[in-house]
A and B are shown apart, each in its own frame.
Chain A
């Protein structure tokens, strides 16, 4: 865990250094490159928050999927929801720990509300209806279970697809930065002269900052996943 954190910090420092150097090289201004660093730090804090949220969603989906599958197997041999829960308690996520028999449905509803997954809420409601009204559980759970399974499959598929698209977009952004470098190298005299003017410095900074902001938006788009209905 510590090594991973250290690795992430190292990547961040390298990224910050490259970004600072790029802005300084493109604008000839250390002040503007420091201003860009501040923008990067703000963006990184937001991205870290979104990443935590995304990881939590994936954890919730996996935990709900695991619970539903194990519960379905146990419900084949018993009609009591609490009994089924008790026999799978050790194999499910810690979020489901210490549930009492008296208010099992309330506590499951609470977990479902925290998870905020429609499919899982539907499954918990089905358990509640089954305990209160009875019926054929095998048939009752068909749709909620299929939704929970789809939830896992589709979210992982969406994340994978979005990640490959983000890599492609990142490559294009790197090419754009390379174009700035190439221009700076190929016409050094003109470029130097151009950056002597404060207005052109700010203009170039504005273009790079816009690019940075739009890249941040692309990363945000990758991190925010919401399939309504699941």
Chain B
């Protein structure tokens, strides 16, 4: 679990030591405060304090996870463009290493560090290992297959037919990610359907409370 936390921080480019010490300090302060309150008030404050402290830890890790998911999603979308550039450069007769190097000029900022890392790794290690490392940035299986195909082009040479057939899967990939975004955008506005209903209920409750208090006053007078 600790390794996973470290890995998440590394991928999100967060200083692990700083984040860990800050989170732990806030958590400990909250625990100490709830224990202190326990001596002055009741055990309920202790329970509430401990619950809040753990809730803080939980939300912190959930936020990290959500940020990582967003980053992965952004990288998957940027991968489409990157892959297109590499395939174009490969079909134009460049070797994979120079195609990757040339593609960094055009690739999206969110992916450029990972591509540079892949280039540096390929320089030292010609095995499949750097490609596996690069793959770990994505969740989508078809993207992982595409990366393996890139490794194959390094080993065997350019396989034009295979590269061409990838076009179709790339278009599907784009369609999926765009459809996901559209439904997400539509859901954002759908949240407001409930608002007028809740506000109507609130107005009713507000007026009812006043009327009941008036009736109550009438009974006691």
User: A residues within 8 Å of B by Cβ?
Assistant: 118, 122, 125-126, 128-129, 133-136, 139-140, 142-144, 146-147, 150, 154, 157-158, 161-162, 165-166, 168-169, 172-173, 175-176, 179-180, 183, 187, 190-191, 193-194, 200, 203-204, 207, 210-211, 214-215, 217-218, 221-222, 225-230
Nearest residue (CB) in A for B213 is A194
Cβ of A142 and Cβ of B167 under 8 Å apart? Answer: yes
- Taken together as a complex, chains A and B put the C-alpha atoms of A161 and B181 apart, in Å, by 13
Cβ of B170 and Cβ of A143 under 8 Å apart? Answer: yes
* Residues of A with C-beta under 8 A to B177: 229
Q: A122-B84, A143-B167, A190-B210 are in contact. List 12 more A-B contacts (CB 8 A).
A: A133-B88, A139-B91, A142-B167, A143-B84, A143-B170, A176-B196, A187-B207, A203-B206, A214-B195, A218-B189, A226-B185, A229-B181
Quick one: given A143-B167, A157-B182, are A229 and B174 in contact (CB under 8 Å)? Answer: yes
The SS class assigned to the B binding surface is helix
* Residues of B with C-beta under 8 A to A225: 185
Cβ of B196 and Cβ of A183 under 8 Å apart? Answer: no
* Residues of B with C-beta under 8 A to A139: 91, 164
Question: In chain B between 165 and 221, which residues have their CB closer than 8 angstroms to a CB of chain A?
Answer: 167, 170-171, 174-175, 177-178, 181-182, 185-186, 188-190, 192-193, 195-197, 199-200, 202-204, 206-207, 210-211, 214
Range of interface residues on chain B? 35 or more
Cβ of A135 and Cβ of B88 under 8 Å apart? Answer: yes
B23 at the binding interface (Cβ < 8 Å): no
Q: Contacting chain A: which of B61-69, B74-82, B138-146?
A: B74-82
Please name the 8 residue pairs, one residue from A and one from B, whose CB atoms are nearest each other, closest first.
A229-B77, A172-B196, A176-B196, A218-B192, A125-B106, A135-B92, A221-B189, A133-B92
